[in-house]
Amino acid sequence: MRERPVLLFLQKHNTMDVKIEESWKAVLQNDFEKPYFAELIRFVKSEYREQQIYPPGNLIFNAFNLCPFNNIRVVIIGQDPYHGPGQAHGLCFSVLPGVEFPPSLRNIFKEIQQDIGSPIPANGDLTRWATQGVFLLNATLTVRAHLAGSHQRKGWETFTNEVIRIISQQKENVVFLLWGAYAQQKAEIIDSTKHLVLESVHPSPLSASRGFFGNHHFSRANQFLESKGLSPIAW
């Protein structure tokens, strides 16, 4: 029997104790107590018991734990975790050192190189972005192996939409990078009078040449942050 990863949810005195960074726990506690979240966690726990699920259970909230709520400067929204072995580790678009770059990530690095001159890095681990305040959020935080979209419409989108809404409401001067039609749907819950919202096609090879390359999102994000007296991101 394969080893089961540690899950980050405990039922305690009829409340849900989610193991997540403290500033996030404070702003999301109300959602953790809602019926939809309890249903979601029952589903997720069952899936981890019975199926091969990515990312490992202890990395479901990796994006939150690496980028506390108070540190957020940029939000990048993905759709699903990678569903191949050893790829997903809780940060959208990111893979661990030693894992081959997925095509979209390679195109992201190409645009950064063209936009601001930074060389393509040796690995695809975006932890270095997260620790600078780049919140790398997938709309769905778990997925079955080799089955893209398998955990969609189970409750994760309700949760992550609320995450985006809270960031928009409670923070100012955040840059939201919305790549592709799915991410762009989130624009309606972001207050563009308080934040910079940048949209383009997805970095996928199917669309990157139709507007992702040349969007200058990385330099534009830094220009905005600096204009607000905030430190730029070392992309």
Pick the catalytic residue: 17, 31, 80, 191?
80
Strands 15-18 and 9-12: antiparallel
Three-state SS at 178: strand
Residue 233 carries which DSSP code? P
80 is annotated as an active-site residue: yes
Separation of CA 97 from chain center: 18
Distance, CA of 65 to CA of 42 (rounded, Å): 22
Picking from 78, 65, 50, the residue whose alpha carbon sits closest to that of residue 140 is 78
One-letter amino acid of 142: T
Three-state SS at 11: strand
Total number of residues shown for the chain: 235
Distance, CA of 34 to CA of 20 (rounded, Å): 17
Distance, CA of 127 to CA of 129 (rounded, Å): 5
Separation of CA 41 from chain center: 19
Picking from 74, 6, 35, the residue whose alpha carbon sits closest to that of residue 219 is 74
Picking from 51, 37, 35, the residue whose alpha carbon sits closest to that of residue 8 is 37
CB-based burial of residue 225 (10 Å sphere; 0-12 exposed, 13-18 middle, 19+ buried)?
buried
**Catalytically active residues, by annotation:** 80
